[in-house]
Amino acid sequence: MKKLSGVIFVLLIAALVLGACKVREFTATPEPTATSAPTEAPAAQATEATAAPTEVVDTRLFDENGRMICTIYEGFFPALTEEQVNALKVFPEITDSDWTLGPKDATLTIMEYSDFQCPACAAFYAELEKLLAKYPDDVRLVFRNFPLVSIHPNAQVAAQAAEAAGLQGKYWEMYNTLFTKQGDWSGLPAEDFLTWLKNEAGTLGLDKERFAADLTSEAIVNKVASDLEYGQTTIGLNSTPTILLNGRPWSYDWSASTLGMVVDVLKYEKGNLETECPPWVIDQSKSYTATIKTEKGDIVIQLFDDEAPITVNSFVYLAEKGFFDGVTFHRVLHDFVAQAGDPSGTGISGSGYEFRDEIVSTLTYDEAGMVGMANAGANTNGSQFFITYVPATQLTGKYTIFGKVIEGMDVLQKLTERDPQNNPDAPAGDKILSITIEVK
């Protein structure tokens, strides 16, 4: 895993790929750094830049308390800094006056500033419907008006229609109608749109006369206009949908699959991340092997505790406490690597701590069956590991090697091919049933 100094700690690489309705270009949040399996692409060419301060790495194996040298991280969404908290105060807190769907104690709260006439908002609506159907107890939606009237002439009246329906207890019914039938009303002249809305109100079982009166009432017109004014002048919004996840701006992919991965990570990390570095549990005068028992058979690995003592210590500690039990091989590419070690099954999370690289010149990825650590960059190893299917010399010198398969390459070949970061809807991965450590 790797921590970012920006607003959010994320794994996903893509920027917002589904498009957005914008008044003008806006400054995106910083591009995230991925925690992933080793890449097959050649290393990027170096470019001139101001030299960064040299990172001081603690080269000890363990500290005076007998704990392995590591760094604790807070998880997918680390605590916000005071500066970030102050910056985000422009977004009003959620109150009973907000339109919300889902439980207040949801794992993931999605706050959306949206426009019923925006095509990208309709696309996000469709993704949200899938997400809410899959995670009804884990996701909460907070919907706020931000009609882009300069480019969507019917947007403000559409927002007023939802508010008017809400006065009769059918806000979400009108919300669904406006998004699912956006193509029917988006291009209508203003008068025709009002007629269309009144007909839909009747279809929804609303009191049509009351709805018509409320639709253009001073209270509702002023409410939507006030929402727009606040979004523009106080928050500085100019794009829809503008999305916050658990109070943090999100400018990356918002498909149901991606947000589902976020839910899975947050659900796993709640109370499960390590809060201190592991104890030192290995004896380098002895040799260690690990038997990975999977649904497809056993894979036996010789561990290199002399060359990579910190890595082996972490692996042995996690294995002996049952950390890997039930964890899937979440990424399996038969022409590259099989990767595991993330209990969330997404490839995003890990143990809660990270530690330095242990690169030695005598170990290379020049054959199949080499076992290495996945990371998010130098000195960010955690619990995710991979096993090569083929020689992958491009990885040598970049990823710690801490073992080699001595039995079970045929089992490795049987693992289900999948890659959740490129296809979150891939078939379920094969589970690790247990990892047994043998000491000689």
Question: In whole angstroms, how far apart are CA 222 and each of 83, 160, 214, 227, 248?
Answer: 33, 9, 12, 8, 28
Instruction: Output DSSP code: residue 161.
Output: H
Q: Which residues, other chains included, contact 12 with Cβ-Cβ below 8 Å and sequence gap of 6+?
A: 32, 34, 252, 253, 258, 261, 348, 421
Residue 38: predicted pLDDT? 53
pLDDT by residue for the chain (440 residues), tens only, comes to: 333 323 233 333 233 233 478 653 322 222 233 334 454 332 222 223 344 455 677 889 999 999 999 999 989 999 999 999 999 999 999 999 999 999 999 999 999 999 999 999 999 999 999 999 999 999 999 999 999 999 999 999 999 999 999 999 999 999 999 999 999 999 999 999 999 999 999 999 999 999 999 999 999 999 999 999 999 999 999 999 999 999 999 989 999 999 999 999 999 999 899 999 999 999 999 999 999 999 999 999 999 999 999 999 999 999 999 999 999 999 999 999 999 999 999 889 999 999 999 999 999 999 999 999 999 899 999 999 999 999 999 999 999 999 999 999 999 999 999 987 777 777 889 999 999 999 99
Token output for 260: 């589902």
3-state secondary structure 188-256: CCHHHHHHHHHHHHHHCCCCHHHHHHHHCCHHHHHHHHHHHHHHHHHHCCCEECEEEECCEEECECCCH
Check for a shared fold between 21-38+60-266 and 288-439: no
**Helix pair 155-166, 218-229: axis angle to 10 deg:** 120
Query: Can you tell me the distance from the alpha carbon of 374 to that of 111, in angstroms, rounded to the nearest whole number?
Result: 33
* CATH placement of domain 21-38+60-266: 3.40.30.10
CB atoms within 10 A of CB 134: 14
Instruction: Output DSSP code: residue 418.
Output: B
**Per-domain boundaries in the chain:** 21-38+60-266, 288-439
Q: Which of 122, 202, 193, 218 is nearest to 168 (CA)?
A: 202
Place of tokens 């750094």: 33
Asked if 14 and 38 touch (Cβ cutoff 8 Å), the reply is no
Query: Can you tell me the distance from the alpha carbon of 339 to that of 388, in angstroms, rounded to the nearest whole number?
Result: 9
CA torsion 113-116-119-123 (nearest 10°) is: 70
Superfamily grouping for domain 288-439: Cyclophilin-like (2.40.100.10)
